[in-house]
Amino acid sequence: TVPTSKALEYAPERPPFEVDPEAADCPTPDDYTRTGYDRGHMAPNYLIATRYGKVAQRETFLMSNIVPQTPELNRGPWRILEQIVADDLTAQGVELWVITGPVPAEKTTYIKRGKARIPKGFFKIIAAVKDGKLRAIGLYKIFKDR
C-alpha cells in the first residue's frame, strides 16, 4: 500500500541509473542510448521518493525497475497519471494499491544488445479502499505497431 503521509516534500535530485547486481543479465543504462526509447520506471521515482525517502528512491533507478517506454507515453500521460496517484489520491487518505507492468509483445524485440524487451504496451491497476468501499480502475495502453 502507498503511505498517505510524505517522507519528503519534494523528490531529491534524480540519481543515476545503475545495473541491478541481483538481476541476472540486467540491461545497462547505456543500452537505451540513442534507441528512441526512454528508461521507463515501473515503480515511479517521485512517488517512492516522497513517500519512502532517498534510499528507496535510489532503488527505483536500478535497471531491473526499467522498461523501454516511448517518450510520448513516458513524458506525457504516464507521468501525469503517476503524479495524480502520488499527489491527489494519496492526499485523500485512502488505502491505495498500484500495480504496474509491461504487456509482452507477440514477437520478441529488444533494444540494442538484446537485454531489454520492447513491450507491446503497459498496464496499471489502481485500487483504493475508503470508508470500507473498494474502488478500482485498470488502464491498458497498447502500441499499434507492436
Q: Which of 50, 58, 68 is nearest to 17 (CA)?
A: 58
Q: Which of 107, 122, 15 is nearest to 63 (CA)?
A: 15
- One-letter amino acid identity for 52? Y
List the grid coordinates of 68.
Answer: 523501454
41 noted as active-site residue: yes
List the grid coordinates of 37.
Answer: 526509447
List the grid coordinates of 117.
Answer: 524487451
- Phi/psi-derived region of residue 82, left when phi > 0, alpha when psi is between -120 and 50, beta in every other case: alpha
Among residues 39, 41, 120, 124, which one is catalytic?
A: 41
Report the catalytic residues.
41
